Structure 1
Amino acid sequence: MSVDISQFQQVFFEEVAENLANMEGLLLGIDIAVPSDDDLNAIFRAAHSIKGGAGMFGLNDVASFTHELETLLDRIRKHDLQLTAGHVDAFLEAGDVIRSLVAGHRGEGAADPVAVDSSRSRLIELAGAVSGVAAIAPAPVPAPSPVATAPKMTVVRNVTGWLLQLGPMPVDLLERVRPDLEGYGLLEVREAPDKKATSGTWTFELTGMATEEALRGELEFVLPPEAIRIEPVYTETEVPAPAEDDGFGFFDDEPAVAVAAASAAATTPLVEDEGFGFFDDEPMP
């Protein structure tokens, strides 16, 4: 049984129009001096969704252009750059370009290549700017007192997302699963079957604080357990190690690598103190 991919492409075109309208509405109402993180993240997600869908359907011109928009938005939402009126103008202009590129794929006329190149160059130039905040020289401070020895460091590993391998499954099931996954954070396609295939296996990277239990519960509504593989994605950070006498002589040294697994903390219930046999349960007075 073959699946008509064009029907899903039509759904994507409609989603592009919705994402652009949402993005432009947020840009026109944003407080440039003090933009909220929620607004910045919502604008970024709209662009990211357009780029991901365009890549999946092989619309490479849309995907590559939106990638430049996404790069600049990412720097601003991470506060590497301060939002300016110039950024807002560039984003609105980029939205018009994306709309014209998509219209070309719908057979409604080709986009103006000069306008596309001009907007792309503007986005790249703005993304390469040095943050004005970072450029301000800090006030002089007194030199710190000499330190006898550098502190010992330990490496903390944190779960920052998940690698999801889903399949094999039909394309229509993917279209049901993907919007739900995007609700848990930033979803990026790492591997996908040939765009002409009617089924296959997809690999996604999901960045966010969702738990493995929540993701499995969501996916098992539409996929059998054997079609779902979930692995954590870690980042490593060096932090000062605890003082050697923190154990007051009762504990041996611990290994230098600590694992802070966010998903385990979220899904494993705390065990109440059992008293280790020293205390019986007493009724409350």
Structure 2
Amino acid sequence: MTDTPLQTTEWQSRLLATHVRLRQQAPLVHCLTNQVTVNFVANVLLAAGASPAMTDHPDEVEGLAAAADALLINLGTPSADSIAAMRRASQAASRSETPWVLDPVGAAALPLRRALSLTLMAHRPTVIRGNASEVMALAETGTDGRGVDTQHDSREALAAARRLLAQTDGVAISGRTDRLLGRSAATADAVTVGIHGGSAWQPRVTGTGCALGALISAYLAVADTPLDAMICAHVHAAAAAERAELTAHGPGSFAVAWLDALDRVDLSGFLADRLTLE
């Protein structure tokens, strides 16, 4: 395989510079997210260096989505009001060209969420982030999930993710190995990047997946490309998780240690060791 921009020192330097810009610019991220995890997601954004806004009233979201640097829409706990807010916020983001992330939680198992996700996708999310079953469901491959859990490995969703690139600029598939699909800054060709690492404690703490969607949103505000944003967010989360695991004694102490590590982690070594071009 010939060298690509994703294997060069220049590319790694660009990603590290993106990480620095996040803290320098402290982008405002408007989050319409899971009510179970809203406090945790806000704290993750603050720890990483961004500024969260958690407003979800339907009459307020349009102005905030347009004014924010990025938007997260997470379908974790939909209600009539939150669904209305999501629709209005996605429309406002589309009009104002605010980058935004769609996290279609439960879309593989629950028809309401799948239908809502497809409606929101008409406003072209910048990134779709989900597990393999959710990504496959949005690409209409007929797969089923079990609640918010996945029945598939992230590799199984690659074909579906490639189809979704017609409706978004990037797809992040979570799994034992996270797989990110986007376009190279240099060539605009579709690229798949595998992210290895993290901690087995992450799935034991509610909100870590929701927080990853918020981190992608924050990085979208400062990155050169959606692919760079997805990589930086995943590397930031995974590197912090590995650092937190060193001192954690269980899920509760891991959650606190992860927040601390998000504030202090160094990404330079992780970039070289945990990324693969697939």
What TM-score, normalized by structure 1, do the two folds share? 0.28
What TM-score, normalized by structure 2, do the two folds share? 0.29
- The structure number with the bigger radius of gyration is 1
